[in-house]
Each structure stands twice: as C-alpha cells, then as structure tokens.
Amino acid sequence: MKRFLVAVDGSDASVKAVRAVVSLAEPLGAHVTLLYVVPPMVGAAGGAWAPLDEIHASEVKHGEKVLAEVVAALGTSALSIEPRAVVGPPVETIVSIAADEGFDLIAVGSTGKGAVKRLLLGSTADRLVHLSEKPVLVVR
Amino acid sequence: MRVTRSGPLRRVPAFVLHKGSRMKTILVAVDGSEPSLLGVRAAVELSKALSARLELVYVIPPVLLPPSTYAETIRKLEEANAVMASEALSRAKAVLASLGAEADVVQLHGAPAESIADLSQAERVWGVVIGAKGHNALSRVMLGSTADRLMHLCRKPVLIVR
C-alpha cells in the first residue's frame, strides 16, 4: 500500500481517520492525499445572493483552510501529504478519484459534519463503503 | 422456533492468551470466502505498518431450527459448521504462510457482526479487517450483510476489503 486517500470534512471522526492513516503511512513510506469535497449547491441558480461559482470558490477556500489546519495539527514533516479541495457530489467524487488515480485505500470518518448525532454511521461513509471498489477504512 | 447454540456457550477468552502483551492486535474476520482472504493479505500489510499481531476470527452462527427437528440433524449441522470453520481457517493460514506471517485464532459462537464488534472492544484491538462480501452474500450485492452490520456496530476502525 503506497497511496492513501482520506476524505476530510473537519469533523472529529475525519481527523481521527487522518491520524489512523498517518500512523499506517509513516512506517510504509506511503503518500497521503487529504480530500475535502464541496457538495455542489443546487436551487440557488436564480442568483439570489451570489453566483454559484463564487459560492463554490469560497467553499473550496474554506476547505483548503480546514485541510491546512488538519495538516498543521499533525505536526509531522517526514510524511508526504497533499491537501486537495474540490467541488462535486462527495461519495462519487471520492470513489472516482480513488479509482482514477490508483489509490490503495480510502479512509473516512464514520460520522461527518452532516450526520445526525444518533447515527452510528454517516451517510457518506455508508454509501462510500457500498460504492467503492477500493478497500475502505471507516474510523469512529 | 428454538435456538440451538452450536458448540460451547462460553466464548473463548482470547485475552487470556496474551495477558500482559502490550502489542496492538488486528482482528481479521475470516469465513473462507475470496474477499476474506484478500482481507488477510491487507491485514498482514497493516500489521507490519503498526507492528501489530493478528488474530483470525471465525464466528460460527447459531443453528436455527424448528423444535421438531431431530437431534441427529442438529448434530450433523453442527459437525458441518465445524468442518467449514476449520476449512476457512486453514485457507486463511495458507495465505498467512505464503506471506511469512502468523496469527492466533479465535472461534466465537453467535451472530457474526455482533460477536466481532464485541471482541473488538478489547483494549488490545486496534481495528478489524473484513471482506466486503462473505459466503452468504448474493452475487449482485456490493456489500455483504456482515461487513455492513459490523461497520455500523464497531467502535474501532474497520477496514472493508474487496
């Protein structure tokens, strides 16, 4: 296993997923990509507040900030970590990037920002495990 | 309906085997299916990265039969279960041997996902590796019911391999 993809949304579980993957990647000398996915906005196409592009761009900026904080909190320098923020439907985007770029493993937090508290497993993690052809590590 | 437990009622207290061991453990759920053997391979890689030891976990499900069933039939089913268990474990051990790795073995009796989730609560356990589909899954489903249920129940990291 040489390339790990971690879905990060800034939630506690996603940060734990990053930690778990880093602990695996360091001894293996593996490369880690942290992926923040902005779900595309719908229904605001009338341009009530701001054009969609602008909203997406600011969400991507926010994602980059979240990722930078996660990387800084790790305090590791030996590891090769690439933060990346993109717009797209979260599960499909994660699955297709993992497949297209030949990642060996996808890691995800069990409940993300969107999950209802009582859920033991968030919808993104659940669908990801069902759709992914790659091994998926679910971290709580 | 009557529930007949196959084998002893008590679980194997696996922790007794490694009292005092501080090494982290990775559980590998095995049922002899191809995905579960892929899981063994993945678990070996993880165990090297984490300097963890491995435990192969095989769960024998309870035999569910109507009360009118002959004791003889139940006994035969339990024997068949035991044969399946040892075949599954020896396939997993063959994969381990080919990779120069070794593992302890834990056999549990009960509902598979629940039993594995319970065992994973032990402090020594880092996480669980399981094949996405086991023997009982329909070919069209992407994720077997045991893997699905385990990932909902388990408090430790779960790696689902396919």
Tell me, yes or no, whether B44 lies in a domain.
Answer: yes
Q: What is the mean pLDDT of residues A23-29?
A: 92
Residue B69 domain-assigned (yes or no)? yes
Give ipTM to 2 decimals.
0.89
Whether B92 is covered by a domain: the verdict is: yes
List of chain A residues whose C-beta atoms are within 8 Å of the C-beta of residue B158: 137-138
- In this predicted structure, the answer to whether residue B1 has a pLDDT above a threshold of 50 is no
CATH number of residue A100's parent domain: 3.40.50.620
A88 vs B141, residue with greater confidence: A88
Interacting residues of B117 by C-beta distance below 8 A, sequence separation 6+: B150, B153, B154, B155
Domain range for A12: 3-139
What would the pLDDT profile of B105-140 be if each residue is shown by its tens digit? 999 999 999 999 999 999 999 999 999 987 776 666
pTM for this one? 0.87
**Domain membership flag for residue B111:** yes
DSSP single-letter state for residue A48? S
Number of domains in chain B: 1
Alpha-carbon distance A8 to A27, whole Å?
Answer: 22
| Each residue's pLDDT tens digit, B16-39 | 444 445 689 999 999 999 999 999
For residue B158, give the nearest of A1, A132, A138 by CB distance.
A138
Is the separation of the CB atoms in A122 and A112 below 8 Å? yes
- The answer for A 10-39 residues in CB contact with B (under 8 A) is 20, 23-25, 27-28
- pLDDT on residue B23: 86
Instruction: Assess if residue B94 is contained within a domain.
Output: yes
User: Which tokens hold the place of B96?
Assistant: 């381990």
At A30-83, the pLDDT tens digits run 999 999 999 988 765 555 566 788 889 999 999 999 999 999 999 877 789 999
B13 pLDDT band (50/70/90 cuts)? very low
Q: What percent of chain B has pLDDT over 70?
A: 83
Using beta carbons and an 8 Å cutoff, which residues of B are at the interface with A?
42, 45-46, 48-51, 127, 132, 142-143, 147-148, 151-162
Nearest residue in chain B measured CA to CA from A118: B152
CB atoms near residue B140 (< 10 Å): 5
pLDDT for residue B3 is more than 50: no
Who contacts B123 (Cβ-Cβ below 8 Å, separation ≥6)?
none
The two tokens of residue B147 are 């893997």
Collapsed DSSP state (helix, strand, coil) of residue B154? coil
Neighbours of A102 (CB within 10 A): 9
Confirm whether B17 is domain-assigned.
no
Residue with the bigger pLDDT between A49 and B70: it is B70
Residue A5, CA atoms < 13 Å, CB-side half-sphere: 26
Amino acid at A57: A
Question: How many structural domains comprise chain A?
Answer: 1
Sequence-distant (6+) residues with CB within 8 A of B33 are B131, B133, B134, B135
Q: Which of A27, A121, A139 sits opposite B157 (nearest CB)?
A: A139
CB contact under 8 A, B151 and A137: no
Percent of chain A with pLDDT over 70: 89
**Residue B18 counted as domain residue:** no
| B143–A140 CB contact, under 8 Å | no
Question: From CA B143, how far away is CA B138, in angstroms rounded?
Answer: 9
CATH code, domain with B148: 3.40.50.620
- What residues of chain A lie within 8 A of the CB of B45, using their CB? 1, 28
